A and B are shown apart, each in its own frame.
Chain A
């Protein structure tokens, strides 16, 4: 059983470039979450998606950041015009969605993408 897959594992960008981070959930999972971990800090929630729907984007910065989870393919977190402050580890988690929105889902995390902005 493959776990949550993220790629690339490491990404280096210069200021002003775009960063695209990919996440493939565990087999059978239809819910995806993105979290950001700044150096020496805990993880902070960014966005929660189901297939073709953004459920909760309350943690996303208002500008430059976007996320999608298309019907086919991985979830993408996109950061436009990156700045040095975007340097962080970005983690994706997935859950089964079987709780049907009534109960807390257990989230399983990927290995993360470590973004460095020069």
Chain B
């Protein structure tokens, strides 16, 4: 069975500073990886996804993520955080063998200080 771990429950970052959110997955074959963002009281918005190919993936809102098979990781990064990036971020893994269902990590809540 696949699983996803987001080790950081909360992260506080200053506006303009860089941000990195960690995601580790467990799955026996090649996973499909996603990052979603959820603002308070809202649904999930897809930031980026990795299916195959280039391991550095560019997403919306200036985010990028790098797939590292050797570390079973898919960390999300942003060079310069804006106040509007305050939200909860979820990493998810899907797998062909799992029939499309996504397994989510517990989420990382990001607080942006002025």
Contact-residue bracket for chain B: 20 to 34
Known contacts A102-B96, A104-B32, A106-B46; decide if A56 and B104 are in contact (CB<8 Å).
no
Question: In the bound complex, do residue B100 and residue A31 qualify as a contact, i.e. CB atoms below 8 Å apart?
Answer: yes
Bitwise interface map of A from 1 to 15 toward B, beta carbon under 8 Å scored 1, else 0: 000101000000000
Known contacts A42-B90, A91-B44, A109-B36; decide if A104 and B104 are in contact (CB<8 Å).
no
Residues of A within 8 A of B101 (CB): 33, 45, 48, 56, 58-59
A-B contact count (CB 8 A): 66
Cα A43 to Cα B101 with chains together (Å): 11
Question: In the bound complex, do residue B102 and residue A45 qualify as a contact, i.e. CB atoms below 8 Å apart?
Answer: yes
- A71-115 residues with Cβ-Cβ distance < 8 A to B are 91, 93, 95, 102-112, 114
The one of B34, B100, B103, B106 that contacts A33, using a Cβ cutoff of 8 Å: B100
- A21-65 residues with Cβ-Cβ distance < 8 A to B are 31, 33, 35, 41-45, 48, 55-56, 58-59
A-side residues, CB < 8 A to B, are 4, 6, 31, 33, 35, 41-45, 48, 55-56, 58-59, 91, 93, 95, 102-112, 114
